[in-house]
Each structure stands twice: as structure tokens, then as C-alpha cells.
Amino acid sequence: MTLPSMLTFEAPGAALVRSVPDCFNDSIQEHPADIDVARAREQHTAYVSALKEVGIAVRVLPALPDHPDCCFVEDPAVVIGRRALLTRSAAPQRQGESAGLSEALADWCSISSMPAPATLDGGDILRVGQILYVGRTARSNSEGLAWLKLAAAAEGLTVCPVPLRAGLHLKSAVTLASPELLIYCPEMLHPGPLEAAGIELLPTDEPHGGNVLALGDTVLVSASAPRTAEALHRRNLRVRVLQVDEFHKADGALTCLSLRLPRVRTWTA
């Protein structure tokens, strides 16, 4: 089904990533576990290589030594077309992670920031055509949603809140596998609000299967979700499997490791 958008879906033209800090083992974790920082850096390098292999220009920002979660660079900003909204985290430990993002985005976007008491994480924002689905989570409140609506309206987009049953962010539970297909974890959310997207919804029973990253005709899938990878392969998608288990320990996944910038007249996951 064709989405109601004047734009085409393509891989991003560029992406920002941030290096893994020495203090990554102190990141926020729902289920505390020892993180192998050296192995996380190896996995991060492989992730960056995967982005570059599909033609994305990647800029690597330096780690922020006082911010253990800073490699999850998607959360402190939302890019909508040629606009970027710097967000404010509900987790005090993560406030300040937007440092350096304004400079990195300045040649690409106009930039605005949300003040307190608004909170919003980029991981709660899922774009499908002209709709921004927003997770109603502990990280994103009604004031943050209001600021997002202002930015979205300027680009002709609408905003649709989505309640979650479980999971840190909306994109912990559901992501775009292709412009025609959403993959989601039924244990984490009811798909009802997403049915308005007008595209197919594919359930997965793997906890890390709901977070994939569509890059044009390639989709990145966590090695921790082999059945999901196989299901997407059967859909004739070009599947690239990556090890990101060290990031899973910090409640992170594929989408949150990059801030993706769309090409002109396109939209991207």
C-alpha cells in the first residue's frame, strides 16, 4: 500500500554516531550486568561499517566521559526533515548528552530545544510516512509531546501517541523493517494504534526482534533475534545480522546507536 506522503523512503544520506565511553559499564540498566567495554567498541565499529557499506556518510562524535549512555545518540535529538529538536531526558544521568550535537547538525538542520519540564527520548519516536508515532513511556511526557507536535507540524507531519505494555522505548517494541512492513513484539504493545499506518504488521516473539533498522533495501537485525532475521529474509529483504549484545545489556539496540539524517525529499527510519 502506498503511504500518504510526497516523500520517498530511502536510506539516510548521513548519520551521527558517538563513541563508546570508558564508563559505559555505568550506563542505566534495568537488569544490571557487566558490560565488556572493549567488546562493545568492537561491535560499535562493526555497526559503523554496516552503515557505511550502504552508502551512508558517518560522522563519529567523541565520547562524553561523564555520560555512560552517550553512545545512544538517537535519544537526545529528533531529526524531522530539515529540522532537529534537541530533547531533554527524564533520566538526570542522561541530561547533557546533547553536547556537540548542535554543532554537528548545524550544516544540516535548523535546531530548536525543549525546556523543562518537557522530556522526550528519540527512541520513543517512530516515523511511518507522514505520521510520527510516539511512545507514552517514563522517558517522554505530555510536555515533550507538545514540543514534538510543534516541530512535526512545521514539516506537515502528524503525531500519534502509542501506549506500551512493556519496554524502555517505543522502538524497543516496534520498528520499520521496510516502508511496507512494521515488526513488533506483542508482549510489549498492542498494535491497534499502528494499524492507521496502512502497512503490514509482523509479530515477533523475540525480545530483541522488535528493534531492527531499515536502511533503504537493507535491514539490520540483532544476532540475538535469529528467528526475526529469518522471517525478514523470507520477505525477500536484504538482512544484515550484527552482534549488539553488549548494548542490549544497557537496554540499547540498533536504532539508538545512530542519529540518521534523511536525504532531500526523502524520509528514513
- Residue in the block written with cell 533520566: 91
Nearest Cα neighbor of 254 from 263, 262, 246, 265 is 246
**Closest C-alpha to 159, from 187, 190, 188, 127:** 127
Domain assignment of residue 3, yes or no: no
Whole-angstrom Cα distance, residue 140 to residue 142? 7
In a domain, 37, yes or no: yes
Residue 149 within any structural domain of the chain: yes
pLDDT along the chain (269 residues), means of 10: 65 97 96 96 98 98 97 97 94 93 91 96 96 95 96 94 93 96 95 87 97 97 98 97 98 98 94
Q: Does any domain span residue 1?
A: no
Active site residues: 169, 256
Pairwise CA distance, residues 79 & 222, whole Å:
24
Residue 99 pLDDT = 87
Q: What is the pLDDT of residue 3?
A: 42
Question: Domain with 256 in it: what CATH number?
Answer: 3.75.10.10
- pLDDT of res. 130: 92
In a domain, 89, yes or no: yes
Split into its structural domains, the chain has a count of: 1
For residue 4, what pLDDT is reported? 42
Separation in Å, CA 150 to CA 124, 145, 155, 158, 243: 16, 9, 9, 10, 37
Q: What is the pLDDT of residue 196?
A: 79
Check residue 133 and give its pLDDT: 97
- For residues 117 and 265, give the distance between their C-alpha atoms in angstroms, rounded to a whole number: 33
- Residue 218's domain spans which residues? 8-267
Domain annotation covers residue 2: no
